[in-house]
Amino acid sequence: MEEKIKKINIIYLLGYIFIPIIVCAACFGLGIAFFPKGTMAVILFMVPTALSFIWWTFGGSILYKQKYKKFEKVLDESGFKRNHTFYGRGKTVFIDTENGKIGLVFFWNPTKTYIVPASKVEKAWVDDGKGGVGFMEGSSRVSFLFVVDDIKIRVDTFTSNQRFRMDSDYILTGISKADLMVKMIEEAKKKSK
């Protein structure tokens, strides 16, 4: 039986957040109990705090980047033709339109990579995130979505903390990218056995 797609590895997610907190708490406890003063106290308070912030800021991204770079090599070696690759926020989608396959890597599940036949995609569509009425009409997120094994995968092509008009350059570029990806998924689906 084929493995089901998991977007989030709960153990990794909890470890990502809580392991640095636990390590910091242990070091702080150790500092308070045994080294209330001096160089050791500074090391026990500062180093774990700094390392935790470095991990939360860069650690996950580095791990994720390494994973999809490695996956790209694996795909090339296995004869997967990377016709289109979309590096989304927290998700990377590889599409082989010739052999009808889709490769997936998720930020919150870097231990796994997936290659699924495009025929398993139930549907794919674009969400332009349009909201508001009148002069307030606009969007702050454009994405393409597809459903595989009843799991909805959303990949953002544009995100912002501001709302942009629907005819703004950012939104139009995002829609164009999303339209292209949906077209590629549909194309791969036709070729998939």
Partner 1 sequence: MNIIRKMRAPFHADWCKNCTNPMEVEKKQLYMLPVLVSHYTPREDAKYFTDNLIKIEKKSDIPTGYYGCGIIKYRCTECNYERVKLSVFLPVRGIEKLEDVNFYEKGELDEFLKR
Least Å distance, CB 144 to partner 1, is: 11
Rounded CA gap, 79 and 29, in Å? 53
Is 180 an interacting residue with respect to partner 1 (CB under 8 A)? yes
Strand partners, 142: 158
Is 77 an interacting residue with respect to partner 1 (CB under 8 A)? no
Residue 72 or 149 with smaller CB distance to partner 1: 72
Nearest to 13 by CA among 88, 85, 109, 104: 109
Strands (E), 45-120: 84-87, 91-96, 101-106, 109-117
Give helix 10-34 / helix 39-54 axis angle, nearest 10°.
Answer: 170
Match 């009843």 to its residue by tokens: 150
Strand partners, 123: 147
Least Å distance, CB 146 to partner 1, is: 16
Is 65 an interacting residue with respect to partner 1 (CB under 8 A)? no
Which residue of 124, 175, 185, 188 would you call a contact of partner 1, by CB under 8 A? 175
Is 177 an interacting residue with respect to partner 1 (CB under 8 A)? yes
Is 169 an interacting residue with respect to partner 1 (CB under 8 A)? yes
Nearest to 140 by CA among 179, 182, 168, 106: 168
Amino acid letter, residue 98 = E
Residue 27 or 118 with smaller CB distance to partner 1: 118
Is 167 an interacting residue with respect to partner 1 (CB under 8 A)? yes
Least Å distance, CB 143 to partner 1, is: 15
Residue 44 or 175 with smaller CB distance to partner 1: 175
- Which residues in this chain contact partner 1 in the complex, by CB under 8 A? 167, 169, 172-173, 175-177, 179-180, 183
